[in-house]
Amino acid sequence: MMVTRIAAVLAGLTLASLAHAQSDHVIGSYNTWITAQDMRNSQGVPLTDFCAMVQQDRANLHRFGRQDRLDGYDYFFADAANRARISTNCDVAPALRDYIRRSVQQQEPMYMNVTIYGSGDRVTRVHVREGAG
C-alpha cells in the first residue's frame, strides 16, 4: 500500500516535471531597438522598469504602428494578452543592468535580443540580452 502511494506520487511529480519542461521551450526570438519612444508608456509617463520598456516596444510596434528602424518583428506579441505577460515574465541578463541604467538615464537607444519561451502561442518567459551588431 505504501509502495503504491509512493509510486503514484513519483509518477505525478514526473508528469508535472515533464509538463513544465515542455511548456518552457524557445518559441521565438527577435532583435529590437529600445529607444526614447519605448521609455515612456502610452500616456507619455517615463517608465523605470526595463521589462516595461520591452513591453512598450512591442505595443508601439503591434498596437500603435510606431516601429523603430531596426525593430524586428514577432507574431507572439501581436496578441495583447501575450504582451501583458512581458512585464511579469521577463528576465534580463545580469551583465546588462548597468548598461541599461546608463542608457535609460541618457535616453540612448539599446539594441536587444529577446528570446520568447512558451508552449504553442502562449508565452511563459521572456529573456532579454544585448543584441549582436
Q: Please give the Cα distance from 73 to 76 (Å, whole number).
A: 9
Please report whether residue 3 resides in a domain: no
How many domains would you assign to the chain?
A: 1
Please report whether residue 116 resides in a domain: yes
Please report whether residue 108 resides in a domain: yes
Residue 73 phi/psi, 5-degree rounding, is -100, 145
Please report whether residue 8 resides in a domain: no
Please report whether residue 125 resides in a domain: yes
| pLDDT in the model for residue 13 | 41
Convert the chain into a string of H (helix), E (strand) and C (coil): CHHHHHHHHHHHHHHHHHHHHHHCEEEEEEEEEECHHHHECCCCCECCCHHHHHHHHHHHHHCCCCCCCCCCCCCHHHCHHHHHCCCCCEEECHHHHHHHHHHHHHCCCEEEEEEEEEECCEEEEEEEEECCC
Q: What is the pLDDT along the chain (133 residues), one digit of tens a residue?
A: 554 554 444 444 444 444 444 558 999 999 999 999 999 999 999 998 999 999 999 999 999 999 999 999 999 999 999 999 998 899 998 888 888 888 888 888 999 999 999 987 788 999 999 887 5
Nearest CA to 65 out of 102, 37, 101 is that of 37
Residue 63's domain comprises 26-130
Please report whether residue 38 resides in a domain: yes
| pLDDT in the model for residue 100 | 84
Please report whether residue 21 resides in a domain: no
pTM: predicted TM-score of the whole model, two decimal places? 0.78
Please report whether residue 9 resides in a domain: no
